[in-house]
């Protein structure tokens, strides 16, 4: 390997294949509905994220909006598929399919939550990118995969856009730079300008083995177990003896009866020969 990713295209895992096929199918169906079917926009409208109270009344939009792309341009669909495919095979191979899918889902959800938060706090006169009417796209997931991969492969070299050699550490800062550029050119981000920063947060917290989030959870759990063990060991020493009730019989007493009493009640036999 000599510290460099080869030009051979990596083979995607089963989870990544399913995600890419679903995004491609949804993107084509979405374009057909919006551009050629009367009322198709209303159908797609039930899947996008809308900032405001609707975001909390219909929480499934936080996930379904991540599968949508621009219906007026196939470039967004192609970029989304390539962006997810670029580094995801290595993550799925290391983490497994379940953790990888959970990572993508959380990055999309957190990204839209970030955009909804910015929409709520930004002044009314801010650019439309800070107040998106609708939010959709997998930009947060693409950003999260780049951050997580660069964190786990800081010294490994990869070909950015398949021809620019760049190390994992450099890719981390290039990804951050693209997020900042999104603030300067907000109209090209259908997810909202804050969504990529949500992907950065998820990539930092859930990337790595163990991830930062899991390490914090394990340390907190260990602390709770240690406190529970310490309190369980000290509790018997601190517990006072039970007070003895007054006016009652002692706990020990002599019970009449036994072998001697039984033998004393027996009569001696008439025939003395059987005594011995």
Query: Of the ranges 6-20, 82-96, 190-204, which one carries the lowest mean pLDDT score?
Result: 6-20
Q: How confident is the model at residue 107 (pLDDT cuts 50, 70, 90)?
A: very high
Give me the pLDDT at residue 245, please: 58
What class has domain 14-218? mainly alpha
Q: Within its chain, how far is the Cα of 24 from the centroid?
A: 24
CB count in 10 Å sphere of residue 44: 20
On average, the pLDDT of the chain sits at 83
- 28 vs 25: CA distance, rounded Å: 5
Q: What is the per-residue pLDDT across 31-70, written as a single tens digit (0 to 9) for each?
A: 999 999 998 899 998 899 988 877 788 889 999 999 999 9
The whole-number pLDDT of residue 7 equals 47
The pLDDT-based confidence of 86 (bands split at 50, 70, 90) is: confident
Res 34: pLDDT:
92
User: Which secondary-structure segment (H or E) carries 251?
Assistant: none
Q: Is residue 99 predicted with pLDDT exceeding 90?
A: yes
Query: E strands of 152-273, at which residues?
Result: 157-160, 164-167
User: Which among 161, 158, 140 has a CA at the least distance from the CA of 149?
Assistant: 158
What is the pLDDT, as a whole number, of residue 6?
A: 47
Q: Where are the domains of the chain?
A: 14-218
pLDDT for res 256: 63
For residues 12-24, average pLDDT = 95
pTM of the prediction? 0.77
251/11: higher pLDDT? 11
């Amino acid at each position: 390997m000599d510290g460099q990713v080869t030009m051979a295209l990596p083979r995607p895992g089963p989870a990544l294949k399913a995600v890419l096929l679903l995004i491609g199918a949804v993107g084509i169906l979405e374009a057909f509905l919006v551009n050629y079917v009367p009322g198709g926009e209303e159908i797609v409208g039930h899947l996008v994220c809308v900032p405001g109270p609707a975001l909390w009344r219909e929480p499934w939009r936080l996930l379904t909006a991540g599968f949508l792309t621009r219906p007026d341009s196939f470039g967004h669909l192609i970029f989304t598929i390539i962006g997810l495919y670029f580094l995801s095979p290595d993550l799925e191979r290391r983490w497994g399919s379940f953790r990888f899918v959970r990572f993508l889902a959380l990055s999309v959800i957190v990204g839209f939550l970030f955009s909804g938060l910015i929409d709520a706090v930004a002044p009314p006169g801010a650019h439309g990118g800070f107040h998106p009417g609708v939010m959709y796209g997998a930009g947060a997931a693409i950003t999260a995969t780049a951050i997580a991969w660069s964190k786990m492969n800081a010294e490994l070299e990869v070909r950015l856009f398949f021809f620019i050699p760049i190390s994992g550490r450099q890719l981390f800062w290039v990804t951050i730079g693209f997020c900042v550029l999104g603030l300067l050119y907000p109209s090209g981000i259908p997810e909202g300008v804050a969504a990529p920063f949500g992907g950065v947060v998820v990539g930092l917290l859930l990337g790595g083995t163990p991830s930062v989030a899991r390490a914090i959870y394990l340390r907190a759990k260990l602390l709770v177990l240690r406190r529970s063990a310490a309190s369980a060991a000290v509790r018997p020493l601190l517990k006072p003896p039970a007070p003895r009730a007054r006016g009652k019989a002692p706990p020990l007493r002599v019970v009449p009866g036994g072998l001697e009493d039984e033998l004393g009640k027996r009569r001696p036999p008439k025939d003395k020969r059987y005594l011995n």
